[in-house]
Structure 1
Amino acid sequence: MKPFSVFLLSCLLFLGTGISLAQNQEKITFASWNIRWQSDDDVKNGNAWKKRFEPIANVIRFYDFDIVAMQEGAAGKRDDLAPLLKDYAFIEIDSTEHNPILIKKDKFKLLDKGKFYLSLTPEKKSKSWDSMHKRFCLWAKLQKDSTTFFVFNTHFDHRGKVAKNEGAKIIYQWIPSIAQSSPYIISGDFNSVEGSVPYEILMSIPGIKDAKDVAQFTHIVKKSFNHFDPTRDSKWDLDHIFVDSRIPVYRYGVLNEMYFDGETYRYPSDHSPIMMVFELPAIKQP
């Protein structure tokens, strides 16, 4: 074989290897979104669910999220959203409790799922301390290609100060033991701002980082809790994504998307979705 032919063949083999490597490092788009419970006051104020669910689905479809950790996604809401989100599987344990994890059906394999309660008895449905509701953490063990990872989705109580602090401690204790050596993501509506006691407890989990702190590019115009009012500037970031420090995060943002209802511009929920783009780390797993 002539020297130039050898050189050309080597280049083609190198390029082929490069393409293969790129395919193995596919970026994943992740979102966390509290889509708001159904309230009579919302109907009176023009924010009825029947108006909001299509704009919510449109945001999910437009950004083409691979995974959505959703809060307050009750069974009736799932029934409205599912026909518009046919590419997604809704992961739940109990349809009477409403924090589903949505995953692209063609990208991930569900290996296992479970939940634990943010209470003195995490293994059974319960509430403790000053919590108004039974709060829990739903988790999914997923596989992408040869990599296994976990997604934890939770919603802290909105009133109980002690319950939020203690719930963060339950997260601290339970999640590492479930995930073991696999990389993982913790996300949700924590009803807690950066610097609060629950936030600092979560940040003290070994190897955990706030995704916005480690993202290569961050875009935040307004905070995640939006009061259902596009004209109002929010002061509260109640929603967070925490990542295993082995997970590279490329982008993080708060998506203050609106829709027009024929009379005025509105937010689809009183929380704006937060999102990140990440890659699964190259970890040798059994």
Structure 2
Amino acid sequence: MTAWFRVMTYNVRYDNPDDGEHRWSNRREGVADTIRFREPSLLGLQEPLEHQLSYLREQLPGYEWAGDPRVDGDSEGEYSPVAFDGRRFDLVETDTFWLSETPERAGSLGWDARHPRIVTWVRLRDRETGAVFVHANTHFSHDGPQARRHSARLLRERLDELTDDEPVIVTGDFNCVAGESPHETIVDPDAGRRTLSNAIDRSEHGHYGPETSVTDFEHLVPNRKIDHVFVTDDVEVRQHGVCTDLFAAERYPSDHFPVLAQVRLE
């Protein structure tokens, strides 16, 4: 059994010039500080562009990073990267696939989505115990309901192909709340060989924080917990929460809150 460690999923909001006072240059320190303060050993981000990811790499030197951008698989477009504590874990394998009918084709659009969407996954080895597990991180379409449904099915299928008996952790912005079709496909025990549960439902100490993970940078958007951590049965969950850290008076670092779970591999 491994020691406890923290897993975080965090949509950091892409660098949108129309965000005004909430543009990246005004809040990037808050994003880095939030991650640094919460000290996740395993981190899945959504939406950073190349220059945003470069900044976070510089500010968070203890992490190793993996992932490709969604537009061309080279340098263009948003990433869904995975970061992990390089003192705790060794990288065994990593890849990115697209949420589309042609998952290996970089930049491919899926179903009714207007933008390419991806899954970046890593296979990691715990240095102390030798335990090997898989962490997959993703960002489902915000505007394509059909794409979200198919993405959930494809994610389950690919996890079955990628893993045998290793524990699995899945993080991301799924653009759906519990009870909606994509979420229910992910946790459906009949949707694949592996069984996934939402960490909020497995947490020994329940849930901490609001029942939403979305903001408008200054206020909570109620009933929109669309950022999730999913785990297989061989991952124990002690805590789960939404981190509502302010980086300035009445201002949040992103239009999403980080979601954090404390886990260990059984």
CA contact (8 A) 1:222 1:233 kept: no
CA shift, 1:233, in A, is 4.5
Percentage identity across aligned positions?
A: 29
Structure 2 portions without partners, runs of 5+: none
Mapped pair 1:272 → 2:261: no
Q: Which amino acid aligns with 1:91?
A: A
User: How far apart are the structure 2 equivalents of 1:233 and 1:119?
Assistant: 30
User: How far apart are the structure 1 equivalents of 2:3 and 2:209?
Assistant: 24
Mapped pair 1:253 → 2:253: no
Instruction: Say which of 106, 109, 114 aligns to 2:87.
Output: 106
CA shift, 1:221, in A, is 2.2
CA contact (8 A) 1:215 1:252 kept: yes
User: How far apart are the structure 2 equivalents of 1:119 and 1:48?
Assistant: 30
Mapped pair 1:80 → 2:69: no
User: How far apart are the structure 2 equivalents of 1:79 and 1:203?
Assistant: 34
Match of residue 56 from structure 1? 31
CA shift, 1:41, in A, is 2.2
Match of residue 199 from structure 1? 183
CA contact (8 A) 2:89 2:126 kept: yes
Match of residue 116 from structure 1? 97
CA shift, 1:220, in A, is 2.5
CA shift, 1:222, in A, is 4.3
Question: Could you say what secondary structure the match of 1:235 adopts?
Answer: coil
1:12-40 Cα distance to aligned partner (Å, 9 max, x none): xxxxxxxxxxxx63111110000001112
What pairs up with 1:1-286 in 2 under 5 angstroms? 25-43=2-20, 46-93=21-68, 94=73, 95-96=75-76, 97-125=78-106, 126-145=108-127, 146-204=130-188, 205=191, 206-217=194-205, 218-230=207-219, 232-260=220-248, 264-281=249-266
1:62-87 Cα distance to aligned partner (Å, 9 max, x none): 11111110001211001212221011
User: How far apart are the structure 1 equivalents of 2:230 and 2:110?
Assistant: 25
User: How far apart are the structure 1 equivalents of 2:195 and 2:112?
Assistant: 30
CA contact (8 A) 2:67 2:96 kept: no
Aligned length: 252
User: How far apart are the structure 2 equivalents of 1:152 and 1:72?
Assistant: 15
User: How far apart are the structure 2 equivalents of 1:272 and 1:222?
Assistant: 11
Task: Kindly report structure 1 stretches of 4+ aligned residues shifted beyond 2 Å.
Answer: 93-97
User: How far apart are the structure 2 equivalents of 1:128 and 1:274?
Assistant: 26
RMSD of the TM alignment (CA)? 1.3
Structure 1 portions without partners, runs of 5+: 1-23, 282-286
CA contact (8 A) 2:15 2:52 kept: no
Q: Which amino acid aligns with 1:254?
A: V
1:169-213 Cα distance to aligned partner (Å, 9 max, x none): 111211121022111111100001111111111111442111000
CA contact (8 A) 2:113 2:147 kept: yes
TM-score normalised by L of structure 1: 0.85
User: How far apart are the structure 1 equivalents of 2:2 and 2:131?
Assistant: 11
CA contact (8 A) 1:222 1:256 kept: no
Question: Could you say what secondary structure the match of 2:136 adopts?
Answer: strand
CA contact (8 A) 2:95 2:121 kept: yes
Q: Which has the larger radius of gyration?
A: 1
CA contact (8 A) 2:91 2:124 kept: yes
Question: Could you say what secondary structure the match of 2:215 adopts?
Answer: coil
Give the helix-richer structure, 1 or 2: 1
TM-score normalised by L of structure 2: 0.91
User: How far apart are the structure 2 equivalents of 1:265 and 1:220?
Assistant: 17
Q: Which moved more, 1:150-159 or 1:127-136?
A: 127-136
